[in-house]
């Protein structure tokens, strides 16, 4: 066993604090990764604060992991020491069900094994990326291409793939009109990726405070949802809307912005249930959908796509001691646009 420094949540209300955790000995197919950077996803906050149901404490969250391979097990074929690698939201799945066979491990019928808050094959609780190192089976380790710096790559492992997957699934591209609700960690990646895919991109943010940034990142249009005119002006004008908001919003108002056959995909995962009026969907054959991260092959495809186009996340690198402050800033929508923890400071 390897003892590593980490930051853990010990209850829903206490600040995260330094601790140590054990990583398992290397199995034949395992990869030991020295973590260099770990992104702060809003899901970490929902989990640390038991907003999605009771969390088992202590928990080390973090599922946007970028680092370098230190050592590999004897039967590992895909990686060697020194490789630049990443780990996202899953560390394993059953690999046998219909969904796993299709490369949709995130929808494993037996439940994928979360990077934190799950139970690994050895029965031990999984602990995530706010730590110096992690051991992961090679099939759930991603290769980070040379074209992306490790700090800017970390958020791609969750924020990147969570927006790339629905953009691809619902065919964002030339001629399609895509709107992104909320320009935080996921939202700013959705803007960059949809723009890179050739779509016409609109940001729907609470205010115009981040307008300059949105346009610089690739948005063609930027509107404040605090302005009621936004909802009349843009009625019926989008083919695809990606909702990245971490809180409950008035979905009916946004559904009316969809054109005929348009789809609103919810990736935001608020604590409280969302409601939809049937008459927001019926008059224009609209769809309301959800999407969760992406499969392993698709995550690699996304990383390669980003490297070819020079896309990384917009980040603010912080030392571990600033995690709790960063949480407060994320909650205040004051993130530009992803906090990334320097793992040398754990
Ligand atoms: P984030 O950085 O906090 O971004 C959320 C953005 O939503 C904020 O920056 C803000 O943008 C907007 N917003 C926040 N509160 C709002 C409110 N009350 N009303 C309207 N807009 C509001 O969070 P994130 O890390 O991108 O994660 C977003 C959500 O996606 C979280 O719920 C997270 O758990 C979930 N998630 C889901 C998946 C998945 O697989 N489906 C994966 C990762 C994360 P503006 O300031 O521009 O309005
Ligand atoms: Zn996440
Ligand atoms: Zn499965």
pLDDT at 107: 98
Ligand 1 and 23: CB distance under 6 A: no
Residues 6+ apart with CB under 8 A from 30: 24, 72, 73, 76, 135, 136, 137, 138
Ligand 1 and 180: CB distance under 6 A: no
pLDDT at 252: 98
pLDDT at 272: 93
Task: Work out the number of other CB atoms within 10 angstroms of the CB of residue 251.
Answer: 20
- Which of 257, 184, 244, 242 lies closest to 214 in space, CA to CA? 184
Please give the Cα distance from 151 to 153 (Å, whole number).
5
Task: Work out the number of other CB atoms within 10 angstroms of the CB of residue 304.
Answer: 16
What is the pTM (predicted TM-score) of this model?
A: 0.98
Q: Is 226 exposed, middle or buried (0-12, 13-18, 19+ CB in 10 A)?
A: exposed
pLDDT at 334: 94
Which residues are registered as beta bridge partners of 258? 238
Task: Specify the residue with its C-alpha closest to ligand 1, atom 36.
Answer: 268
Residues 6+ apart with CB under 8 A from 331: 45
Number of residues assigned to the chain: 346
For residue 76, the surrounding DSSP H or E stretch is: none
pLDDT at 24: 97
Ligand 1 and 185: CB distance under 6 A: yes
Ligand 2 mean position to 64 CA, how many Å? Answer: 7
Residue with tokens 């990726």: 193
Task: Please list the ranges in the chain whose pLDDT falls under 50.
Answer: none
Mutate which of 245, 272, 273 for ligand 1? The one with the most ligand atoms within 8 Å of its CB, which is: 245
- Which of 311, 324, 270, 332 lies closest to 155 in space, CA to CA? 311
Radius of gyration of the chain (CA): 20
Please give the Cα distance from 55 to 95 (Å, whole number).
26
pLDDT at 200: 98
Ligand 1 and 38: CB distance under 6 A: no
Q: Could you tell me how many helices (H) and strands (E) the chain has, helices first? A: 11, 17
Nearest atom (ligand 1) to Cα of 43: 34
Nearest atom (ligand 1) to Cα of 266: 41
Considering every ligand atom shown, identify the ligand nearest to the alpha carbon of residue 161 and give its number.
1
- Which of 239, 199, 241 lies closest to 219 in space, CA to CA? 199
For residue 192, the surrounding DSSP H or E stretch is: helix 185-196
Task: Specify the residue with its C-alpha closest to ligand 1, atom 44.
Answer: 43
Q: Do residues 84 and 151 lie in contact, with contact meaning Cβ atoms separated by under 8 Å? A: no
Mutate which of 246, 314, 329, 340 for ligand 1? The one with the most ligand atoms within 8 Å of its CB, which is: 246
Ligand 1 mean position to 243 CA, how many Å? Answer: 8
Please give the Cα distance from 199 to 202 (Å, whole number).
10
Q: Do residues 131 and 36 lie in contact, with contact meaning Cβ atoms separated by under 8 Å? A: no
């Amino acid at each position: 066993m390897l003892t590593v420094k980490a930051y853990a949540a010990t209850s829903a209300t206490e600040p995260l604090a330094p601790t140590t955790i054990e990583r398992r000995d290397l199995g034949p197919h395992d990869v030991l990764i020295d973590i260099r950077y770990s992104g702060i996803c809003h899901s970490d906050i929902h989990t640390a604060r038991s907003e999605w149901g009771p969390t088992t404490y202590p928990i080390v969250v973090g599922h946007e992991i970028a680092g370098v391979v230190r050592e590999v097990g004897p039967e590992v074929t895909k990686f060697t020491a020194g490789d630049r690698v990443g780990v996202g939201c899953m560390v394993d799945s059953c690999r046998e069900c219909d969904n796993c066979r299709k490369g949709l491990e995130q929808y494993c019928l037996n439940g994928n094994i979360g990077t934190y808050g799950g139970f690994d094959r050895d029965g031990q609780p999984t602990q995530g990326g706010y730590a110096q190192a992690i051991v992961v089976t090679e099939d759930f380790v991603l290769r980070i291409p040379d074209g992306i710096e490790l700090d800017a790559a970390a958020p791609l492992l969750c924020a990147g793939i969570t927006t790339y997957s629905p953009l691809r699934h619902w065919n964002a591209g030339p001629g399609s009109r895509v709107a992104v609700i909320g320009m935080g960690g996921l939202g700013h990646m959705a803007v960059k990726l949809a723009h890179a895919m050739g779509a016409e991109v609109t940001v729907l943010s609470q205010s115009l405070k981040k307008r300059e940034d949105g346009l610089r990142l690739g948005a063609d249009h930027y509107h404040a949802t605090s302005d009621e005119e936004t909802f009349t002006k843009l009625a019926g004008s989008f083919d695809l809307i990606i909702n990245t908001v971490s809180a409950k919003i008035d979905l009916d108002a946004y559904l009316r912005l969809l054109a005929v056959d348009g789809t609103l995909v919810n990736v935001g995962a608020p604590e409280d249930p969302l409601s939809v009026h049937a008459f927001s969907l019926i008059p224009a054959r609209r769809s309301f959908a959800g999407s969760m991260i992406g499969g392993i092959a698709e995550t690699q495809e996304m990383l390669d796509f980003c490297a070819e186009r020079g896309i990384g996340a917009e980040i603010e690198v912080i030392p571990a001691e600033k995690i709790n402050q960063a949480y407060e800033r994320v909650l205040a929508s004051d993130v530009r646009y992803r906090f990334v923890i320097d793992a040398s400071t754990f």
